[in-house]
Chains A and B, each alone.
Chain A
Amino acid sequence: MAKPKLHRFAIRSSRKKTIEVIVANLFRLMTYCVILAAAYLFFDITANGSKAVFQGKAPFINIQFLTEKPQTLHVFEPLEPYNEIQKRRTQILQLQSKRKALGSNDTEQRTEYSEQIDNLQAEIERWDAQRKAERLKYSDDAYRALDHTPDLSMFKHQTYAYSGGGIGPAIIGTCLLVLGSIAIALSLGLLCAIYLSEYSRPGKTLQAIRLSILNLSGVPSIVFGLFGFGMFVHFFGWGVSIIAGWFTLAIMALPVIIAASEESMRAIPRGFREGSLALGASKWTSIRTNVLPYALPGILTSSIMGIARVAGETAPIMFTAAYALRDQLPWEGLEQPTDFFFQGVMALPYHIYVVSSKIPQNEYTRDMQYGTAFVFLFIVGFFALSSILLRIHVRSKYKW
């Protein structure tokens, strides 16, 4: 077979080209895998979480879940479906063990057992639907407010810790923690960054400082938690409190903020500084008027991003600021205004941790876990998004 004659630029296959194609596709595949994983994560949390957060009838958002305190859930299972289901469960177990005991030749018998099991399974599902339709769920408050409890000859009464009510205090607590630590971390970080980028002289000391700040960002969060516990909770005697949480989170976010702020300030052309200095501006004036305004968008974005990451950590607030359960909202029952800072709060990440690991799991905790995760994701996303919008806004105001 005569090969068609190839001209000078014709595509010729070679090993190098094959490798090229394989490598490119490998990269693409890996990227898709990552995107898929992220998409699945968001989808899973949104799908499961929205069950708790949204509802079928107006106002479509489950206000109770977002505002109420976590409570014990009282469930009244209708007895009849409950008993029927239990009965069939036992039968299935029996059949399964019988099936296991069969020799390998009894294929007929085996299929018969399997069919029976399938039938029972289907019946269970039907009863389960009825059970779900008829069962009564009350949060603790609602239960106490009941005029007469459901007839216990018709219902089986069960209680589940933390599975009722909502996550209102945790939402408030997390927002408080995030806002406070942003304020502290931004002011501290900005001051450090201004010093490092504008005032310090390059040399060994500066490098050492940079290196240690960089190292700080590699410290595991639990270590920050312990540090905050030792420093703020005990040594300063603040106790488990918002303010201890603020400082712990702020210190944890500092490395990122300092690095980002420094970088943003470095990116400002030297000409701006020299230009204003040459007009007789003092150093601070030149920084204030001709460096900070232009560096601010970058500083804010990366800082808020940094805080949003840090605010998601459970470990640093576990010992310093978070209560597993608190009956009062932060502004309730204060004897004097300063008490506000010295009280613990509930926080979303810690709440997720508590409902996922500290209490017995059941079908009702699941909604709570996913709902909390969903709300949490939403809040963190909100902070990140607002920082980006802020950046775009400021950026369009100061462009060069």
Chain B
Amino acid sequence: MNLAIQPERPKPNSASKAKAIIETRDFSFAYGPTQALFDISMDIHKKEVTALIGPSGCGKSTFLRCFNRMNDLIDNTRILSGQIKISGIDIYKRDVDVIELRKHVGMVFQKSNPFPKSIYDNIAYGLRIQGIKRKSELDEVVERCLRGAALWDEVKDRLGDSALGMSGGQQQRLCIARALAVKPKIILMDEPCSALDPVATAKVEELIHGLKTDYTIVIVTHNMQQAARLSDRTAFFYLGKLIEYGPTEQIFMNPENPKTEAYVSGRFG
């Protein structure tokens, strides 16, 4: 059995290369002395949902947070090798402005984190910090984002109410709407449904599904069904290594690596 397999690339059809929006090459990453990611190479495709799965602690969140450099906030983190290119630009080059990067690559967190402000102010936040103050413009964006996040009908009469009064699922969708406000191209989601009940989860999933037409979505999930339902491609991580990556169908129905097979069939993890 060969564990150090080269990650399986999606079938190299001619279009796929052109469609790659995030290209990761031999990327290794460490928290201080402990290495968390080992030589990861994978392409994430434009306007697709890519799921990252794997047992907890395998580095999914770490990898995801590398795409918008959220790991910069943690002390002593290092990139040991490799690079990540987004839209062809190496995002760890010195001349990259993380602020611009993060506007381009939005993020939704595992624990929904609406700010303790009104629903309206939550959405408008991303624009206000860019100096946009015009009421009409803000109104327009708030409505667009709430509609985009399928929240508009539920909250349009109480935009001034605190976001903390919403249900858990609504809060998470609000966070997605908030991320949409700064017009990102890519949205990273770290287990966005892990704290939600099945009904709320279904709504968020539906939303993600709808967003696919306009955005590239990378989603971390520990829920196998969710990955299967939502994603076009799935990457399986184990102990900081990318074990297998390919079209979701293939990963679930016909995995090449026995570890992947064991994981997706629920025998460990």
Binding site for B on A (CB under 8 A): 201-202, 269, 271-282, 285, 289-290, 294, 398-400
Contacts and interface: CB of A to CB of B under 8 A. Distances in A.
A34 B100 CA distance: 60
Looking at A272, A281, A289, A294, the one whose CB has the most chain B CB atoms below 10 A away is A281
A280 B164 contact: no
> Closest 5 CB pairs between A and B?
A271-B113, A400-B116, A280-B103, A278-B107, A279-B126
B164 A278 contact: no
A279 B129 contact: yes
A276 B70 contact: no
B146 to A, nearest CB: 16
A285 B70 CA distance: 16
Given A275-B113, A276-B129, 16 more contacts: A271-B109, A272-B115, A275-B115, A276-B115, A278-B70, A278-B109, A278-B179, A279-B106, A280-B99, A280-B100, A280-B102, A280-B182, A282-B99, A289-B129, A294-B116, A399-B116
Interface in B23-49: none
B32 to A, nearest CB: 12
B102 A279 contact: yes
25 contacts: A201-B75, A272-B116, A274-B70, A274-B107, A274-B113, A275-B114, A275-B178, A277-B70, A277-B73, A277-B102, A278-B68, A278-B102, A278-B107, A278-B179, A279-B125, A279-B178, A280-B99, A280-B100, A280-B130, A281-B129, A282-B99, A289-B129, A398-B116, A399-B164, A400-B164
Contacts of A275: 109, 113-115, 175, 178
Contacts of A285: 129
Contacts of A398: 116
A269 B110 CA distance: 14
Contacts of A201: 75
A279 B182 contact: yes
B111 interface: yes
Interface of B: 68, 70, 73, 75, 99-100, 102-103, 106-107, 109, 111, 113-116, 125-126, 129-130, 162, 164, 175, 178-179, 181-182
Contacts of B111: 271
For the complex, would chain A's binding face be called helix, strand, loop or mixed by DSSP majority? helix
B115 A290 contact: yes
Nearest to B99: A280
B106 A274 contact: no
Nearest to B163: A400
Given A271-B109, A289-B125, A399-B164, A279 B179 contact: yes
Contacts of B107: 274, 278
A280 B126 contact: yes
A320 to B, nearest CB: 41
A271 B109 CA distance: 8
B131 to A, nearest CB: 10
Contacts of B113: 269, 271-272, 274-275
B176 to A, nearest CB: 12
Nearest to B121: A289
Nearest to B100: A280
Contact of B109 (A202, A274, A399, A400): A274
A273 B178 CA distance: 14
Looking at A269, A277, A280, A282, the one whose CB has the most chain B CB atoms below 10 A away is A280
A235 B70 CA distance: 48
Contacts of A400: 116, 164
Contacts of B129: 276, 279-281, 285, 289
A280 B162 CA distance: 22
A332 B130 CA distance: 49
Nearest to B108: A278
Contacts of A273: 73
Nearest to A282: B99
Contacts of B181: 279
A290 B163 CA distance: 14
